[in-house]
Amino acid sequence: MAGLTLYDKLWRNHLVEQRDDGSALIYIDRHLIHEVTSPQAFEGLRLAGRRPWRLDANLAVPDHNVPTSAAERAGGVAGIVDEISRLQVQTLDDNCLAFDITEIPINDLRQGIVHVVGPEQGATLPGMTVVCGDSHTSTHGALGALAHGIGTSEVEHVLATQCLVQQKMKNMLVRVDGKLQPGVTAKDVALAIIGQIGTAGGTGYAIEFGGDVVRAMSMEGRMTLCNMSIEAGARMGMIAVDATTLDYVRGRTYSPRGELWEEAVAAWSDLHSDADAQFDKVVTLQGEAIQPQVTWGTSPEMVLPVDGVLPDPAQIENPSRREGARRALEYMGLQPGTAITDIHLDRVFIGSCTNSRIEDLRAAAAVVQGKRVAPTIKQALVVPGSGQVKAMAEAEGLDRIFLDAGMEWREPGCSMCLAMNADKLGAGEHCASTSNRNFEGRQGIGGRTHLVSPAMAAAAAIAGHFVDVRSLQETDA
Amino acid sequence: MKSFTVLEGRVAPMDRANVDTDMIIPKQFLKSIKRSGFGPNLFDEMRYLDEGQPGRDNSQRPLNPDFPLNHARYRGASILLARENFGCGSSREHAPWALEDYGFRCIIAPSFADIFYNNCFKNGILPVVLPAEQVEQLFAALYAEEGYQLKVDLERQQVQTPTGETLRFEVDTARKHCLLQGLDDIGVTLESAGAIRDFEQRWRQSSPWLFDVIGREQR
Ligand code: SF4
């Protein structure tokens, strides 16, 4: 018999019941909750007179709606200006209190984007099943966990039963061999993968990322990579546990200690695909060939290396792709044949669950240090992923570097990633963004998003248009 | 959940491909903390001439006269006839909530996006997949006849046209069963409560670090 993949093992370990119709009951270890997709689930519990199955499996934190300006944040929940946002955050507080669920409240130092907070607190651990009413839950797979997003009915289902009814996915291995060039980051790898397999390439699969490039990545980089599995069409992405994982997990608030730590590490040593495991599909990339990436359209697969030029729809054979490219260029207000480096920007956003961890902020700060944001840039926002990331960055003096360069240093939250709070793009504005979705209107009605790495976003802020961050670093040397 | 057995009702058209969940219910309405009340904002951007905001009185807003749901002939429709890849985009369950709140209990299309299809069953809506040619014929018949009705029978897995034609559709057994009985998913899973408890006990023994950690500070 062939060996098992990491996904097969995680599935097997959590299988409560296999049903005749092909579905299975899967046990959920950790359920993360935020304010947008949970109110109706709590309402459902209330109406049915049900209680949560297991309180200590849940952890809640508000992130999508919270304001990121220090002034508005100072007033806590009551200080949120937008009435409907305030009610949503207040409702999370009320529900957690009523159902006895642990919540990290708005102005707690540990508050932040749910996908940054989970690993940071040790609330998500290797070998777990992790779910949350948010599609970027795939992030937590970086720790060797089975993690994916769920809908609101499923949020209620997990609260009430500690299980989900699931169908098993097929296995896909995405292997990135060799080494990355200096200046090329996990975000560029994620975008290059999506550029290669397309936004539906991973549909129906659980992706495992492997290869020397992934093994050499920090945990922050691995989280960036797994985060964007969903943009590649897969609900989940994961990475085998190794010494890097253990170093990251050790000593966190909710991580095991002492003897339990030793026991856990022993159990986690099995969290990798067996050498003879069979994948239904294998995709390979060569690390050396990956350049810094920039998206030019309204889907993450519309991506090019920074030295690329925009495609001419007339040259695209497939009719639906041709129409897609034509509409995207029209929405983005861009002409075929334009060089990526000639795209001028109005705003820059460094943040989101893809790229708001300490390593991301360090990379951005290294680029802007001692420089000024171009006068044509209306706003350059830096939004740390959590209060702890913010504190760490401030202790290292990164906030000063950003502020001295003319950037804004904000309080943690989702912010301009989806524009549910006050941080938004105006119609027609181009934004270099370290987030994960460039759909029409995602960052504000009519807004034009270009997805890039933190270093590339920082370089674009200084230049006022896209530049190859490597050229900047070379002239410095 | 409401059960679905046989539905006889008026049909309305949504005649474009790739209708995404953002068109079904735009993101500003996701701030609601309720599961009901989304009906007046279903297809908001196509349905009204101005921009919708939560909390506004929708009855005062200018209607788009070109949008079919605003036409008297489709008033009270409970079946939506749609095109391929209906419900693509974000996973928001607000989309089926809005359709259900408006009064739709059945959507007929040549194909649906995965998560949306799944979300329909959880909210008492039957998504019916019919071959593209049949959907094409239904559109033609719908446009030709005012007050056009269909009869959808879940038990027998067929759609009946006014001319007596029956169109067969597929649906998986587990989902059909739940919808016919109006069973709520949670109730069904709780029938396995014993198995869940057994699993949990074993799991707690082999992986004790996964238990009793969060909330320990309060307990
Ligand atoms: S940062 Fe963006 S993608 Fe991530 S959870 Fe928040 S809104 Fe979603």
Side chain identity, residue A134: D
- Answer yes or no: do A29 and B184 touch at CB < 8 A: no
Q: Within 10 A of B78 (CB to CB), how many other CB atoms are there?
A: 18
Tens place of pLDDT for every residue, chain A, 477 residues? Answer: 789 999 999 999 999 999 887 889 999 999 999 999 999 999 999 988 999 999 999 999 999 999 999 999 999 999 999 998 999 999 999 999 999 999 999 999 999 999 999 999 999 999 999 999 998 999 999 999 999 999 899 999 999 999 999 989 999 999 999 999 999 999 999 999 999 999 888 988 999 999 999 999 999 999 999 999 999 989 999 999 999 999 999 999 999 999 999 999 999 999 999 999 999 999 999 999 999 999 999 989 999 999 999 999 999 998 878 988 998 999 999 999 999 999 999 999 999 999 999 999 999 999 999 999 999 999 999 999 999 999 999 999 999 999 999 999 999 999 888 777 778 899 999 999 999 998 887 788 889 999 999 999 999 999 999 999 998 865 443
Q: Is A97 exposed, middle or buried (0-12, 13-18, 19+ CB in 10 A)?
A: exposed
pLDDT for A474 equals 53
Report the residue among A36, A353, A356 best suited for mutation to probe ligand 1: largest number of ligand atoms under 8 A from its CB. A353
CB A279 within 8 A of CB A172: yes
pLDDT for B219 equals 46
Closest approach of chain A CAs to the CA of B5, in angstroms?
A: 21
- Answer yes or no: do A25 and B189 touch at CB < 8 A: yes
Band of pLDDT at residue B218, cut at 50, 70 and 90? low
pTM: 0.89
In chain A, the percentage of residues whose pLDDT exceeds 70 is 99
Side chain identity, residue A300: P
pLDDT for A476 equals 45
Closest approach of chain B CAs to the CA of A256, in angstroms?
A: 6
- Answer yes or no: do A55 and B213 touch at CB < 8 A: no
Question: Residue A449: CB within 6 Å of ligand 1?
Answer: no
Place of tokens 């009270």: B76
- Answer yes or no: do B208 and A260 touch at CB < 8 A: yes
Residue A440 tokens, joined: 């029409």
pLDDT for A477 equals 39
Question: Residue A164: CB within 6 Å of ligand 1?
Answer: no
Q: Is A207 exposed, middle or buried (0-12, 13-18, 19+ CB in 10 A)?
A: buried
Does residue B96 register a pLDDT over 60? yes
CB A457 within 8 A of CB A432: yes
Question: Residue A350: CB within 6 Å of ligand 1?
Answer: no
The predicted model gives B139-162 an average pLDDT of 97
- Going by C-beta distance under 8 Å and a sequence separation of 6 or more, which residues neighbour residue B71? none
Sign of the Cα torsion B104, B107, B113, B117 reads: positive
Least confident of A308-312, A321-325, B144-148, B201-205: A321-325
- Neighbouring C-alpha atoms within 13 Å toward the C-beta of A225: 31
Does residue B91 register a pLDDT over 80? no
Q: Which of A65, A125, A153 sits opposite B93 (nearest CB)?
A: A153
- Answer yes or no: do B212 and A264 touch at CB < 8 A: no
The neighbouring-strand residues paired with A238 are: A208
Distance between CA A135 and CA B175 in Å, rounded?
A: 23
Buried b (16+ CB within 10 A) or exposed e, A250-263: eebebbbeeeebee
Contacts of A36 in chain B (CB under 8 A): 30-31
Q: How far apart are the first and last CA of chain B?
A: 36
Report the residue among A89, A382, A383, A417 best suited for mutation to probe ligand 1: largest number of ligand atoms under 8 A from its CB. A417
Four-point Cα dihedral B183, B186, B192, B196, nearest 10: 170
**CA A353 to ligand 1 centroid distance, Å:** 6
CB A353 within 8 A of CB A139: yes
- Answer yes or no: do A161 and B196 touch at CB < 8 A: yes
Closest approach of chain B CAs to the CA of A303, in angstroms?
A: 19
Q: Is B139 exposed, middle or buried (0-12, 13-18, 19+ CB in 10 A)?
A: middle
**CA A385 to ligand 1 centroid distance, Å:** 10
**CA A59 to ligand 1 centroid distance, Å:** 17
Closest approach of chain A CAs to the CA of B30, in angstroms?
A: 7
Cα distances from A424 to residues A97, A114, A333, in angstroms, run 32, 20, 18
Backbone angles phi, psi at B20, to 5 degrees: -95, 170
Distance between CA A220 and CA A226 in Å, rounded?
A: 10
ipTM attached to this prediction? 0.93
Residue B160 tokens, joined: 């009946």
Q: Is any Cβ of chain A less than 8 angstroms from the Cβ of B212? A: yes
Question: Residue A106: CB within 6 Å of ligand 1?
Answer: no
In chain B, the percentage of residues whose pLDDT exceeds 70 is 97
